[in-house]
């Protein structure tokens, strides 16, 4: 598989990372994962906007423009002969002396991974309330960073089945998010999702869902909820940029039916409609006004 590494397109086994990279030594790096649908990088500009905000917070200087990333992605697609793909765009701080560094990083490492991505046969999931609490963010808000130990511990708790998603609670007992997803539930045609102040990652697909709901005049509430709020919901679903929108139909002994005319069904339909055209979720409102 050909991947992009610091200006070059290399075979994946040719890429070498220095042991002095502070992304390796101290977890100082961030990434974005998103999908290519029929050659189109869905919500690419939103992912890049979040990436740059995170890099600025970490004092990592990164100068690739949106148009340059689009060109790189087209080249990766062509070289690997892939139309539908998983992309991971990874930026690490780059090499430095051993020890905690507080200055600017001006020579980061950029790697863009690609692999084929096909339609999943998983149409629903089982939710498991985790015993492992969600850790608090390292800073003011959670970044999509290399710090994934909490997620890995949660994943080990539920096992490797792709049809099961663990749901974290905060140490205070509030709902937060899935191991690799954001959490939503529906009650009487109103949409609920944990507030970012619970320490969750503000996922791009999460933001898309909220933007979509507002464009449809659907009430959305971001707040602090307990497990019983979730278990009393009419419907539950999780979201992320790779798995899209997936209903959660069981949690323990509780079952949740997906209604034929539910908001979730409408959301899934619109998501499929937009995924080969949108570069930014701000285009949703303009599309709805046409």
Considering the domain architecture, whether residues 173 and 100 belong to the same structural domain is answered as: no
The residue among 10 and 289 whose pLDDT is bigger is 10
Ranges assigned E (strand) in the chain: 2-5, 8-11, 29-37, 40-41, 85-92, 109-116, 125-129, 164-169, 175-178, 182-187, 190-194, 220-223, 235-240, 244-251, 254-255
Single out the residue in 66, 84, 116 at which a domain terminates: 116
Tally of domains within the chain: 2
Considering the domain architecture, whether residues 55 and 157 belong to the same structural domain is answered as: no
Considering the domain architecture, whether residues 137 and 112 belong to the same structural domain is answered as: no
pTM of the model: 0.96
Residue 243 has pLDDT above 60, yes or no: yes
Residues 130, 169 contacting (CB under 8 angstroms)? yes
Considering the domain architecture, whether residues 63 and 12 belong to the same structural domain is answered as: yes
Residue 286 has pLDDT above 70, yes or no: no
pLDDT in tens, 149-176: 999 999 999 999 999 999 999 999 999 9
Strands 164-169 and 125-129: parallel
Q: Mean pLDDT, the chain, as a whole number?
A: 96
Contacts of 200 (CB under 8 A, 6+ apart): 134, 142, 176, 177, 182, 194
Contacts of 190 (CB under 8 A, 6+ apart): 218, 219, 220, 221
Provide mean pLDDT across the span 118-134. 95
Residue 59 — left, alpha, or beta (φ > 0 → left; ψ -120 to 50 → alpha)? left
Single out the residue in 63, 94, 116 at which a domain terminates: 116
Residues 44, 70 contacting (CB under 8 angstroms)? yes
Considering the domain architecture, whether residues 270 and 148 belong to the same structural domain is answered as: yes
Single out the residue in 99, 116, 133 at which a domain terminates: 116
Residue 190 sits in a domain of what CATH number? 3.20.10.10
Ranges assigned E (strand) in 65-105: 85-92
Considering the domain architecture, whether residues 220 and 86 belong to the same structural domain is answered as: no
Considering the domain architecture, whether residues 84 and 105 belong to the same structural domain is answered as: yes
Q: Which percentage of the chain shows pLDDT scores above 90?
A: 94
């Amino acid at each position: 598989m050909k991947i992009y590494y610091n200006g070059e397109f290399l075979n994946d086994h040719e890429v070498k990372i220095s042991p002095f990279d502070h992304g390796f030594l101290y977890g100082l790096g961030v990434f974005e994962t998103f999908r290519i649908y029929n050659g189109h990088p869905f919500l690419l500009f939103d992912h890049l906007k979040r990436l740059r905000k995170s890099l600025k917070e970490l004092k990592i200087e990164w100068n690739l423009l949106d148009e340059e990333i689009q060109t790189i992605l087209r080249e990766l697609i062509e070289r690997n002969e892939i139309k539908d793909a998983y992309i991971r765009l990874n930026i690490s701080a780059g090499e430095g002396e051993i020890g905690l560094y507080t200055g600017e990083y001006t020579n980061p490492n950029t790697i863009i991974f690609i692999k084929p991505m096909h339609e999943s046969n998983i149409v629903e999931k089982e939710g498991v309330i985790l015993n492992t609490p969600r850790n608090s963010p390292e800073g003011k808000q959670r970044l999509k960073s290399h710090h994934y130990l909490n997620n890995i511990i949660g994943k080990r708790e539920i096992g490797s089945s792709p049809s099961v998603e663990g749901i974290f609670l905060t140490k205070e007992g509030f709902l937060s998010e899935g191991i690799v997803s954001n959490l939503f539930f529906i009650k009487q045609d109103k949409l609920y999702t944990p507030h970012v102040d619970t320490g969750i990652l503000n996922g791009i697909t999460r933001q898309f869902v909220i933007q979509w709901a507002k464009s449809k005049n659907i009430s959305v509430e971001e707040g602090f909820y307990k497990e019983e709020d979730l278990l009393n919901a009419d419907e539950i679903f999780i979201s992320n940029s790779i798995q899209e929108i997936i209903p959660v139909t069981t949690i323990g002994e509780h079952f949740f039916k997906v209604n034929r005319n539910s908001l979730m069904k409408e959301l899934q339909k619109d998501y499929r409609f937009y995924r080969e055209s949108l570069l930014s979720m701000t285009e949703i409102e303009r599309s709805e006004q046409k």
